[in-house]
Structure 1
Amino acid sequence: MSTNKALSILFAVMFLVMVGFGIIIPVIPFYAEELGASPTELGLLMAVYSLMQLIFAPMWGKVSDRIGRKPVIMIGTLGLALSFFLTAISTQLWMLFAARIIGGVLSSANMPTVMAYAADITSEEDRGKGMGIVGAAIGLGFIFGPAIGGIFSKSSLSTPFFLAGIFSLFTFFMVMFILKESLSVENRRKKSPGKSGGLWITLNGPTSIMYFLSFFVTLSLAGLEATFAYFAAEKADLGTTELGYIFMIMGLGSAIVQGGMVGKLIKRFGEGLVIQIGIFVSAVGFLLILFTESFTTAAIFLTIFGLGNGVIRPAVSSILTKRSRTGHGGVTGMISSFDSLGRIIGPPLGGWLFSISIGLPYISGIMLSIIAFVLFRIFSASHSKGISRGY
Structure 2
Amino acid sequence: MGFLPSKNTKSVRRVESKVTGNPRSLVLSMVAFISNSILGIFSITIPIYAYVLGATPFEIGLVGSSVAFVYSFAPFIMGGLSDKIGQTKSMVLALSSIAALSLSYTMISDPIVLAFLRIFEGVSWAMLWPAIEAGTASLGGDLEEDLRRYNISWSSGATVGPPIAGFAMAVLNVSSVFYISSFMALLACLSVLFFMRGSRGKNVKGEKIDFKAALLTLKSYTSLYLPLTSSFFYSFIVSIVFTFFPPYAVYIGLSALEVGFLAFLSGVARTLSFFFAKYVHSRFGENLPIRFSTPLLGFSSILIYFGLPALHYLAFITIGVLVGLTYSSSLLTIMRKAKSKTGLYAGMFESAIGFGYMTGPLVGGLISGYRRNYPFLLCGFAGLTILIVQAALRKTLGGSRELRSTRRP
Shift in Å, 1:367? 2.2
The percent identity for this pair of structures is: 20
- Equivalent residue for 1:308, pick from 319, 322, 332: 322
Structure-2 residue corresponding to 1:356: 370
- What whole-Å deviation, never above 9, does each CA across 1:25-46 have from its counterpart, x for those lacking one? 2222232233332211111111
Call closer, same or farther: CA 1:317–1:373 in 2, change over 3 Å. Answer: farther
Structure-2 residue corresponding to 1:338: 352
Q: Does 2:122 align with 1:104? A: yes
- Structure 1 residue runs of 5 or longer lacking an equivalent are none
Q: Does 2:305 align with 1:285? A: no
Structure-2 residue corresponding to 1:223: 240
For 1:341, the aligned partner's letter is F
Shift in Å, 1:132? 3.2
Aligned-pair Cα RMSD in Å: 2.6
Larger CA deviation: 284-293 vs 338-347? 284-293
Map 1:96-175 to 2 at 5 A: 96-121=114-139, 126-154=142-170, 155-175=172-192
- Equivalent residue for 1:372, pick from 375, 386, 403: 386
- What whole-Å deviation, never above 9, does each CA across 1:306-355 have from its counterpart, x for those lacking one? 21122111211111121235601101111111211111111122222223
Whole-angstrom CA distance in 2 between matches of 1:244 and 1:318: 30
Call closer, same or farther: CA 1:253–1:191 in 2, change over 3 Å. Answer: farther
Call closer, same or farther: CA 1:130–1:363 in 2, change over 3 Å. Answer: farther
Call closer, same or farther: CA 1:339–1:96 in 2, change over 3 Å. Answer: same
Whole-angstrom CA distance in 2 between matches of 1:141 and 1:270: 27
Does structure 2 conserve the Cα–Cα contact (< 8 Å) formed by 1:224 and 1:350?
Answer: no
TM-score, L = length of structure 2? 0.85
- What whole-Å deviation, never above 9, does each CA across 1:242-291 have from its counterpart, x for those lacking one? 10011101101111111x11122223321111212322542442243334
- Equivalent residue for 1:254, pick from 254, 270, 279: 270
- Equivalent residue for 2:287, pick from 272, 283, 306: 272
Call closer, same or farther: CA 1:8–1:277 in 2, change over 3 Å. Answer: farther
Whole-angstrom CA distance in 2 between matches of 1:305 and 1:33: 29
Structure-1 residue corresponding to 2:13: none
Whole-angstrom CA distance in 1 between matches of 2:143 and 2:375: 33
Call closer, same or farther: CA 1:167–1:214 in 2, change over 3 Å. Answer: same
Call closer, same or farther: CA 1:64–1:225 in 2, change over 3 Å. Answer: same
Whole-angstrom CA distance in 1 between matches of 2:93 and 2:113: 21
Whole-angstrom CA distance in 2 between matches of 1:376 and 1:314: 18
- Equivalent residue for 2:231, pick from 214, 238, 249: 214
Structure-2 residue corresponding to 1:76: 94
Whole-angstrom CA distance in 2 between matches of 1:174 and 1:113: 15
Does structure 2 conserve the Cα–Cα contact (< 8 Å) formed by 1:152 and 1:160?
Answer: yes
SS at structure 2 position matched to 1:171: helix
Larger CA deviation: 109-118 vs 262-271? 262-271
For 1:272, the aligned partner's letter is N
- What whole-Å deviation, never above 9, does each CA across 1:347-386 have from its counterpart, x for those lacking one? 1222222232344322221221233234345267253347
Whole-angstrom CA distance in 1 between matches of 2:271 and 2:74: 27
Does structure 2 conserve the Cα–Cα contact (< 8 Å) formed by 1:143 and 1:252?
Answer: yes
Shift in Å, 1:159? 0.8
Does structure 2 conserve the Cα–Cα contact (< 8 Å) formed by 1:196 and 1:327?
Answer: no
Aligned length: 384
Does structure 2 conserve the Cα–Cα contact (< 8 Å) formed by 1:119 and 1:127?
Answer: yes
- Structure 2 residue runs of 5 or longer lacking an equivalent are 1-15
Call closer, same or farther: CA 1:299–1:91 in 2, change over 3 Å. Answer: same
Shift in Å, 1:15? 0.8
TM-score, L = length of structure 1? 0.89
Call closer, same or farther: CA 1:261–1:291 in 2, change over 3 Å. Answer: same
Larger C-alpha radius of gyration, 1 or 2?
A: 2
Q: Does 2:31 align with 1:13? A: yes
Does structure 1 conserve the Cα–Cα contact (< 8 Å) formed by 2:293 and 2:325?
Answer: yes
Call closer, same or farther: CA 1:221–1:36 in 2, change over 3 Å. Answer: same
Call closer, same or farther: CA 1:238–1:177 in 2, change over 3 Å. Answer: same
Larger CA deviation: 372-381 vs 20-29? 372-381
Does structure 2 conserve the Cα–Cα contact (< 8 Å) formed by 1:139 and 1:251?
Answer: yes
